């Protein structure tokens, strides 16, 4: 996973390069939480360009990061989401709380 932070705009971008499944979600979650707590961004962007698979562990990871970011006063957005992943997100109701561009 690649992380980019824009200090001026308080924008934190995570370019996830792994599949988001039970095996990887805990590691991803820890890295993201560390960066969010350290930087306290106004906006967090998840770039899913390299994500080809996500299961329910990924849904849980996203909901948890949404709660943490909201608690700190920020927003979350997802970009470059592939059609198969977008279908999973829509079935779970994620677009109701997280913007998908």
* pLDDT score for 77: 98
The one-digit pLDDT tens for each residue of the chain (101 residues) are 899 999 899 999 999 998 999 989 999 999 999 999 999 999 999 999 999 999 999 999 999 999 999 999 999 999 999 999 999 999 999 999 999 99
Distance, CA of 91 to CA of 43 (rounded, Å)? 24
* pLDDT score for 52: 94
Q: Domains in the chain, start-ordered, CATH in brackets?
A: 2-100 (3.30.750.24)
Distance, CA of 74 to CA of 82 (rounded, Å)? 24
Strand order of the β-sheet with 75-79 is 2-6, 11-15, 43-47, 75-79, 99-100
Our CA angle for 54, 45, 99, nearest 5°, is 75
């Amino acid at each position: 996973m690649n992380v980019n932070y824009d200090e001026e705009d308080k924008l934190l971008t995570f370019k996830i390069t792994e599949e988001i499944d039970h095996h990887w979600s805990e590691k991803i979650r820890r890295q993201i939480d560390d960066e969010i707590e350290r930087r306290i961004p106004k906006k967090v962007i998840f770039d899913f360009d390299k994500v080809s698979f996500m299961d329910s562990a990924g849904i849980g990871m996203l909901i948890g990061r949404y709660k943490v970011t909201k608690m700190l006063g920020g927003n979350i957005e997802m970009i470059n989401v592939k059609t198969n992943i977008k279908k999973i997100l829509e079935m779970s109701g994620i677009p109701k709380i997280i913007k998908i561009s």
